[in-house]
Amino acid sequence: MTSQQVVIVGSGQGGFQVAASLRDMGFDGHVTIVGEESGLPYQRPPLSKAFLTGQMQHEHLLLRPASFFESRKISLIAPERVQAIARDKREVVLQSGRCFHYDHLVLATGARARPVKVPGAEQQRVVLLRGLADAIQVRAWLQRAQRIVIIGAGFIGLEIAAIAAAMGIETDVLDFAERGLKRSVSAFCADFLATAHATAGVRFHFSTAIAHISGSDGIATGVVSADGRHFAADMVLVGIGVEPNTELAQEAGLEVSNGIVVDCHLQTADPAISAIGDCALYPSAFFPRPMRIESVQNAVDQARCVASRIAGKPASYHKVPWFWSDQGAYKLQIAGVASEADQAVLRGDMSTGKFSVFRFHNGRLTAVESINRPGDHLAARKLIEAGTLLSHEQAADDNFKLNQRAA
Amino acid sequence: MPNITYVQPDGARRTLVAAAGSTVMQTAIANDVAGIVAECGGSAMCATCHVYVDPEYIDRLPPVSEVENEMLASAASERRETSRLSCQLSVGGDVDELVVHVPSCQV
């Protein structure tokens, strides 16, 4: 065991957690993290939340201080890029030319923000939000902006819309779908949140395709829709989802589709290489087909699963995915993954601002979306994990005790 | 500057000077205090920064919010009267000194 070398590609929350968990589990080999961003690993979720409002400072984004890495003998090589994986030699080749041998390689390469492919997207003041450098720029521009256009009514777009509107910035959100959060939550939940944001001053423009981003002297001045409307802005934020970073795996001959393909142990076809987090496409009893999940919980739990295998205790990955999002005054929590067509059963009174939506597919509970109802969310994680049968009537009945059912 | 003392399950104590306005969780993470995981980074969404506040100090703290109360139900170690999520406990102002006990497990 002592001579084992683990190399982790990616210094996000997943990559960090593999290293931390290996040490927690007593692994005494070499642990190296290679990260593309400079500095210590940090949390991404606050970048679209408390960090933008200034409530959270940079130092509080760090997952752990430098002393943590020193005391646990975790070497962090950053900023540095992995150029290639030489699988025959079990080596990673870095851009600087350095090579590292691995006994186990963990790909935690994450995802990148998807750029919008319209004319004018290359101008200044058009920004994608993914990393700390992006967030610092967005935060600075928000301080000066009077009008913002947000392309995409997904989690990131709506979180930022809520912040911008609260800062008194005129906020327009454009999405080609007929409602927000279409891929993520039920219409109940999406409409409730859109109404709440609209009340706070956000203007929504659904079923609106983008033609181009207008500009002057290379600086964006607004967005023009396909039907010819112009939405003036002094900054344009693009939040239309992410693309997994799979190129390294693909060039190494590993199977890739919408993510790096892994089995139920999160292992690729090469037993020395695993993939976790946003970049990994994995099978689960909770999904109808292999999926790629973008969440902190997924990255962290998968990291623990792989670390445990490397440390000598293999187990298949079996966790219910869960998510959270701060939407203005509302906390949205989701347990499980629903398909768009899944039925939606409402529990609680939407007018109180506290309710949950239970999603069903063929009578099976697939996901629960909760607004300011953490108790429902916690019960839902257990219900979905255990595959507990729940009727639509029970889900809708506020007097029916979910906790007891879940216990 | 406020002081926070963290007591580990084995009785080991560590006292740290915290920045006014920072939370018990943030101070623990920044100083690598064992046993505070803080997976969600302070959103009261994961209950992995659970602590037991020393009874002497419990009355000085603001009450448990509804969200914190419900999330504490999912803490990995047993919930007690003195249980709090340390991401919800800011120091400074009236709270210039605090003693918290770290539970034996968080996940």
Name the B residues in 12-31 with CB < 8 Å from any A CB: 22, 26, 29-31
Q: Do A374 and B71 touch (CB under 8 A)?
A: yes
CA distances (Å), origin A192, targets A33, A350, A397: 42, 8, 20
Per-position DSSP letters for A107-127, written without gaps between them:
E---EEEPPP-STTTTSBTEE
How much is the pLDDT for A1? 46
More reliable by pLDDT, A407 or B2: B2
Domain positions in chain B are 3-101
What is chain A's alpha carbon radius of gyration, rounded to the nearest angstrom? 22
Question: What's the confidence (pLDDT) of residue A75?
Answer: 98
CB contact under 8 A, A46 and B41: yes
Hey, what are A195's tokens? 């109404």
Q: Do B71 and A62 touch (CB under 8 A)?
A: no
Give the strand pairing for A364-371 and A330-336.
antiparallel
pLDDT tens per residue across span B34-64: 999 999 988 888 899 999 999 999 999 999 9
pTM: 0.95
- In a 13 Å sphere around the CA of B82, the CA atoms on its Cβ side amount to 16
Q: Do A63 and B67 touch (CB under 8 A)?
A: no
The closest CB to that of A324, out of B22, B43, B73, belongs to B43
* Distance from C-alpha of B60 to C-alpha of A247, rounded to nearest angstrom: 54
Among the four given CATH numbers 3.10.20.30, 3.30.70.100, 3.40.50.700, 3.40.50.10090, the one describing domain B3-101: 3.10.20.30
pLDDT digit string (tens) for A34-52?
999 999 999 999 999 889 9
Q: Using the beta-carbon criterion (under 8 Å), do A378 and B74 form an inter-chain contact?
A: yes
Which residues of chain A are under the pLDDT cut of 50?
Answer: 1-2
The torsion angles phi and psi of A329, rounded to 5 degrees, stand at: -80, -5
Give the one of A59, A297, A304 whose C-beta lies nearest to B30's C-beta.
A59
- Containing A209, the helix (H) or strand (E) segment is none
Question: Which residues of chain A does B74 touch, with a Cβ-Cβ cutoff of 8 Å?
Answer: 378
List the structure tokens of A190: 């999406």
**In this complex, is the C-beta atom of A296 within 8 Å of any C-beta atom belonging to chain B?**
yes
Asked whether the bond before A79 is cis by omega within 30 degrees of 0, the reply is yes
User: How far is residue A289's CA from residue A281's CA, in Å, rounded to a whole number?
Assistant: 10
CB neighbours of residue A359 within 10 Å: 28
- Name the token pair of A167: 């800062």
pLDDT at A407: 65
The Cα A71–Cα A67 span in angstroms is 6
Q: Which of B29, B43, B46 sits opposite A326 (nearest CB)?
A: B43
Q: How far apart are CA A182 and CA A37, in angstroms?
A: 31
Q: Cβ B32–A65 below 8 Å, yes or no?
A: yes
ipTM, two decimals, is 0.91
Distance from C-alpha of A288 to C-alpha of A265, rounded to nearest angstrom: 18
Closest chain B C-alpha to A97 CA, distance in angstroms: 33
